[in-house]
Amino acid sequence: MEKIKIGISSCLLGEKVRYDAGHKLDRYIADTLGQYFEWVSVCPEVEYGLPVPRESMHLVGAPDSPHLVTVKTGVDHTEGMLKWANKKFRELEKEELCGFIFKSRSPSSGIGGVKVYTSSGMPSKRGVGIFGGVFMQHFPLIPVIDDGRLHDPSLRENFIERVFVYKRWKEFMKKGGLIRDLIIFHTEHKLLILSHSPKHFSLLGQLIAGARRYKPEELHSGYIRLLIEGLRLIATVKKNTNVLLHAAGYFKKLLSADEKKELLEVIENYHRGYIPLIVPVVLIKHYVRKFDEPYLKKQYYLNPHPLELMLRNHA
Ligand code: SF4
């Protein structure tokens, strides 16, 4: 499998670029995700021109428009960092990134929950790092996460799922983005989208139904914007259960009474939180193979990412 290009804060790969010349190597990122992702490493502070080691910095001012300032000497690096970021974006646009993993809590790289020291003296935790913030504005469709959230199983799953969908979207666009291919793309992602947001699945369906009314650019940007918005919503147990029951319906006439009972029991046990999602999914995949079920075998919901990533394994 071709590796997927993902941007990453350099220190998470073990590069000694932090203010104290240390790193924040994350083994899960480097060893597990590294088997599938090709990293594009970015350290805003060093690439902007600061030395290693250097004086530490923090955010000060209003939480929605803070400044990046050195802690002891009070030097303001906001403008310089923003200028550098704009140049860097031109470079990153060529990289075709399908995701970005940021270092949490960093005044430069953080994407949420960064401390901002306000005039009241009380830090607010509503800040966004200077580079992380402008990156999300410049690349609103690229899935992002930080290393803190990456260790929450459902947020991790959600991020990785979006990365793989975004990669497939880029492949679809490279093939020309034809309406007939968009219909196939949409059909093959049906169960996956439903597991996140039935509302977005229906809105996307309406967009495709009227596809010929739009210019291709409008259709593509409208579709991917809505799709990413829907996929950001967490696939809850309730939504997954509905999708599993829907998939089980394809075997109504094919399974024996015992097999049907067993499949419904497995789905019910997942619904009650006794077993992880991977269990009913594996059983459904078994029946898909056994009966060569043509519709389900193309559904990305049953194979959204490599099994080796051990996602969907938590109850
Ligand atoms: S958090 Fe960002 S700016 Fe700080 S060392 Fe890591 S990559 Fe560099």
Task: Choose the residue to mutate in 8, 18, 81 for probing ligand 1, maximizing ligand atoms within 8 Å of C-beta.
Answer: 18
Side-chain-side CA neighbours of residue 187 (13 Å): 12
Q: How far is the CA of 218 from the centre of ligand 1 (A)?
A: 37
Q: What is the pLDDT of residue 315?
A: 64
Contact residues of ligand 1, CB 6 A cut-off: 9-11, 17-18, 43-46, 103, 106, 108-109
3-class DSSP assignment, residue 112: coil
Structure tokens at 245: 């029951």
Using an 8 Å Cβ cutoff, are 247 and 284 in contact?
yes
Which pLDDT tens digit goes with each residue over 17-34? Answer: 999 999 999 999 999 999
State the average pLDDT over residues 131-158: 97
For residues 294 and 94, give the distance between their C-alpha atoms in angstroms, rounded to a whole number: 37
Closest Cα to atom 5 of ligand 1:
18
Entry pTM: 0.95
Amino acid letter, 127 = G
Rounded Cα distance between 158 and 148, Å, is 14
Tell me the Cα Rg of the chain. 22
Measure the CA angle with vertex 28, ends 27 and 34; round to 5°. Answer: 95
Contacting residues for 142 by C-beta, under 8 A, at least 6 apart: 7, 97, 98, 99, 100, 166
pLDDT per position as a tens digit, 263-315: 999 999 999 999 999 999 999 999 999 999 999 999 999 998 877 787 777 76
Which residues touch 258 (CB under 8 Å, ≥6 apart)?
none
